[in-house]
Amino acid sequence: MESKKDMKISHIKRREIQAPIVSAIVNGFIKELGKERTLEILSKIIEEDAIDSGRNLAIEFKGNGISELSQLIRDIWCNEGAMLIDVLKETENEFHFNVTKCRYAEVYKKLNVQELGKCLSCDRDFPFNEGFNPEIKLERTQTIMEDADYCDFRYSKK
């Protein structure tokens, strides 16, 4: 018999399943409310969800320091090859890496909804960080979702 942990859907699989459905729903709201208003509402919902997710994962990983953050990035965000990262620096106070391959971006690009992908995935990173630990600063200047060659994540304690 499978344990509850074995039955858990990976982060990337969840996004792959959700993307077409969410895209259809968002497009329906865009037709009714307009693009600007729909994305404004969606962004607020995503931000609140990301903050809650950060808080919950800090509890699940039994801490909210750089080491727990780096572990959850590897265990959740990179699971099943969802992201390939090149670690540039990892200390007690800093975790710097580049994402060199992003299946999240591939999912949204395949559906031709990159803007939605940015909102649902990339734009979550900063509010997630706020929920996980507001004393850890995230700097990121580019993403694969926005057609850069790589995403540049720089986490450091304030």
Residue 34 falls within a domain, yes or no? yes
Structural domains of the chain, count: 1
**pLDDT for residue 2:** 41
Residue 24 falls within a domain, yes or no? yes
**pLDDT for residue 8:** 84
**pLDDT for residue 7:** 61
What is the spatial distance between Cα 124 and Cα 48, in angstroms, rounded to a whole number? 9
**pLDDT for residue 3:** 41
Residue 141 falls within a domain, yes or no? yes
Full residue range of the structural domain in which residue 24 is found: 11-157
**pLDDT for residue 6:** 53
**pLDDT for residue 115:** 87
Residue 6 falls within a domain, yes or no? no
Residue 3 falls within a domain, yes or no? no
Residue 1 falls within a domain, yes or no? no
- CATH, residue 100: 3.30.1380
Residue 4 falls within a domain, yes or no? no
Q: Which residues of the chain fall short of a pLDDT of 50?
A: 1-4
Residue 48 falls within a domain, yes or no? yes
